[in-house]
Amino acid sequence: MLIGSQDMEDSGLAISDLMTVLMTIFLLGTLLAIEKRELMSKFAEQSGSKVQTEQLQINKKFFEELEALSENDQSLYWDEKNSVLTAWFKFKRNDSSLTKKVQNSLDVICPKIINVTKNPDSNIEKVVFRGHTDKSWSGEGNKFVGNMRVSFERAMNTMDYCLHSLPRNNTAIASKFMAQGFSFIESDNKLTRGQSNLQRRVEILFKERQN
């Protein structure tokens, strides 16, 4: 059977049309995939921005509460720039015990700290208790080492009191807390001004997760 030239032309046109349709479908699919990626990327950016805004609002409210406490309590000072709450608990020299008055102050401060660290929408990832001493020492052994021990115990006792309300197995929240002792290395700053009663203090530093 002979194939006429007209049949060959029709066949060629059919293949050409089919290739055109396939190419069009391919291009449309590519364009749709690109548009989908762009939409998903935009949605992710908007979602991330929304989450970050919520975190900032939570932290802002918490920090405002600490500032309000410090305004009404002369034993507290809130450093907004560095996110540090300084507490002068009137420690006696070479002593790290918490008085009943100090415990009463912590009963107000600590629940706020615990609540913000429990909040899954907060980006506060570490709460660091930093103990300090003055340069005096009346105990045995090296002056620096003795003060290092006392400064750490001040931080540890304060942190431990804050965490006493947590269930013993709640390590997820407790692991966000840390205690450090600095002896008298950082005894002086713009707040202490060389006064030993102000050098004996605990600072609570709040570290925020960087998104």
Residue 48: band (very low, low, confident or very high) from pLDDT cuts 50, 70, 90: very low
Residue 99: band (very low, low, confident or very high) from pLDDT cuts 50, 70, 90: very high
Work out whether the CA dihedral 118, 120, 122, 126 comes out positive or negative.
Answer: positive
**Which candidate, 195, 206, 61, places its Cα nearest to that of 126?**
206
Q: Structure pTM?
A: 0.74
pLDDT at 62 over 90: yes
- The pair phi, psi for residue 95, each rounded to 5°, is -130, 150
CB 174 within 8 A of CB 11: no
Domain spanning 62-208: CATH superfamily: OmpA-like domain (3.30.1330.60)
Q: Tally the C-alpha atoms within 13 A of residue 209's C-alpha that lie toward its C-beta.
A: 12
Q: What is the DSSP string of 73-126?
A: -TTEEEETTTTEEEE---PPTT--PPPHHHHHHHHHHHHHHHHHHH-TT--EEE
pLDDT at 91 over 70: yes
pLDDT tens by residue, 15-32:
777 777 778 887 777 877
Domain layout of the chain by residue ranges = 62-208
pLDDT tens by residue, 166-203:
998 999 999 999 999 999 999 888 899 889 999 999 99
